[in-house]
Amino acid sequence: MVICANEATARLPCPHLNADMNRADTAPSPPRAIASVILSMGLLAVGNGLLFAYIPVKLAEAGFPPWVAGAAVTAMAAGGLVACLVTGLGVRRVGHARAFGAMTACVILSVLLISLGTLPVVWIVARALYGFAATGLFIISQSWLNDACANQWRGKVIAIFYMVYVLCIGVGGFLLRYLPLEGSAIPLTGIFFATLALLPVSLTRLPAPPPPASITIAVRSVWNISPVGLVGMFAVGGLTMLLQGFGPIYVSEAGYSKADVGLLIFLMQLGLLVVQYPLGALSDRIDRRVVLVVSCTLVVLTALLAYNTDTSQFVLLIIVFAAWTGATESLYSVSNAHANDRADPQYYVSLSSTLLVAWSLSALIIPAITTALIPVFGSDVFMLLSVALASGYGVFVLYRMRHRDPPLPEDTGEYQQVSAQVPLTSELAVPGDDPH
């Protein structure tokens, strides 16, 4: 999905430019060019949020068991993992603008497949295609933003990008209450927003940045740098997909309307803002690992509370899910920040690549396990798996605290609020080797 969450995110070596890149200088792009990338991704997020809410509701209405919707979640994660590995190569071959257009076309194709009717196998394939396209678009857009922004405010722009995206996911989910489930109104709305997303980027003069760096997987090196960061990314990848993917499935299976499911998705995104920021700010003042333990505890408590809350108590359920979202998101940001506190600048790219792959692998494996368990244990099994993941990670962090001192204050960066729902690929925006 996504990696660094502190000031290191915004730190890039000076790009080596050559004639093939058609760059006259390294001057930042005007604000309207930067805003166009953020706007395009925000429009895509509206459609994403709408489909996130629509798919479990429609499948439940059609009488399909919840594991079918779970398989769609797993497929989306699989597509995202593939995109992590190949997007950089695609950008090198055709450039950012063409790659952005191609990925957006894949989004449109995925929604078109969904518009064909309630066909589970087709929908699973469609979500795999969407996961591939969405993750590719994250990599492309963040590469563009990192190159376009001046050093002193690059980090703030990336944070704005993330917040706009997740809030637009909430808006998309909220739109579900105003659209009919019958017919193709919802898929057509998703296509509308995806098509609209092409315009800001296409009509804005955006300098072509250097191609993003290739994925470099260095598990042993990253383990030596930050075991807490590496294990944290694996834990959070699963936790994020469990909550964001299976939460709407659970509510839909409980018999709630499309309006209720849309409201849930919207308020979950607000929970991110309310809970995540205070914990992140606290991590700038104390050992980040203490905050990670607190966040793990909150995830465990909220997941258990959700598990023991009667589905008839919808208001309480929404509040619990919102707090749960914020706690999960804080795990993501703080563990990334901690990993970057431990790393020297020359390791940022390999660190980001490896953490991204760890997140993506977990986002694939954990939903697959959940989908297999749903027929046996029911659609609420994702809550118990969340408890297990968060508990295990919390215990691991406590263990590491006994064996390693926190980084020195001068080695720590400033926390930035980002989202686990959006793969943080900013460090991969550094120029890679020119294949020519």
Name the nearest CA neighbour of 105 among 156, 51, 44: 44
Residue pLDDT, tens place only, 207-259:
767 766 666 778 888 898 889 989 998 999 999 999 988 999 999 888 888 89
What pLDDT is attached to residue 370?
94
What pLDDT is attached to residue 46?
95
pLDDT value at 181 more than 70: yes
Average pLDDT value over all residues in the chain: 82
Residues 6+ apart with CB under 8 A from 141: 37, 40, 41, 100, 161
Provide the CA 247 distance to its chain's centre, in angstroms.
16
Greater pLDDT, 125 or 271: 125
What token pair was written down for 63? 């009488």
pLDDT value at 274 more than 90: no
C-beta of residue 160 within 8 angstroms of C-beta of residue 106: no
Residue 384: pLDDT band with limits 50, 70, 90: very high
Angle, vertex CA 79, rays to CA 163 and CA 73, nearest 5: 70
Distance CA 432, CA 15 (A): 9
Residue 270: pLDDT band with limits 50, 70, 90: confident
pLDDT value at 426 more than 90: no
Percent of the chain with pLDDT over 90: 39
- Range with the poorest average pLDDT among 282-286, 379-383, 430-434: 430-434
Residue 41: pLDDT band with limits 50, 70, 90: very high
What pLDDT is attached to residue 11?
31
How many beta carbons lie within 10 A of that of residue 23, not counting itself?
16
What pLDDT is attached to residue 424?
59
Name the nearest CA neighbour of 1 among 60, 64, 69, 85: 85
What pLDDT is attached to residue 409?
58
Greater pLDDT, 71 or 34: 71
What is the phi-psi region of residue 419: left when phi exceeds 0, alpha when psi lies from -120 to 50, beta otherwise?
beta
3-state secondary structure of 212: strand
pLDDT value at 283 more than 60: yes
pLDDT value at 429 more than 60: no
Greater pLDDT, 202 or 10: 202
How many beta carbons lie within 10 A of that of residue 243, not counting itself?
27
DSSP type of residue 6: S
What pLDDT is attached to residue 12?
30
Mean pLDDT confidence for 362-369: 92
What pLDDT is attached to residue 16?
31
Distance CA 125, CA 92 (A): 27
Distance CA 70, CA 24 (A): 49
Percent of the chain with pLDDT over 70: 82
Q: What is the DSSP string of 227-294?
A: HHHHHHHHHHHHHHHHHHHHHHHHHHHTT--HHHHHHHHHHHHHHHHHHHHHHHHHHTTS-HHHHHHH
Distance CA 190, CA 127 (A): 13
- Range with the poorest average pLDDT among 44-58, 204-218, 343-357: 204-218
Domain boundaries, the chain: 31-407+415-429
DSSP type of residue 436: -
Name the nearest CA neighbour of 355 among 254, 224, 201, 237: 237
Angle, vertex CA 31, rays to CA 29 and CA 33, nearest 5: 60
Q: Report phi then psi at 431, rounded to 5.
A: -65, 135
pLDDT value at 153 more than 90: no
Residue pLDDT, tens place only, 385-425:
999 999 999 999 999 988 877 665 555 555 555 565 666 55
What pLDDT is attached to residue 20?
33
- Range with the poorest average pLDDT among 6-10, 238-242, 293-297: 6-10
Distance CA 299, CA 283 (A): 17
Residue 152: pLDDT band with limits 50, 70, 90: low
What pLDDT is attached to residue 18?
33
CATH fold group of domain 31-407+415-429 = Growth Hormone; Chain: A; (1.20.1250)
Hunting for tokens 């257009």 — which residue is that?
101
C-beta of residue 156 within 8 angstroms of C-beta of residue 20: no
Greater pLDDT, 116 or 428: 116
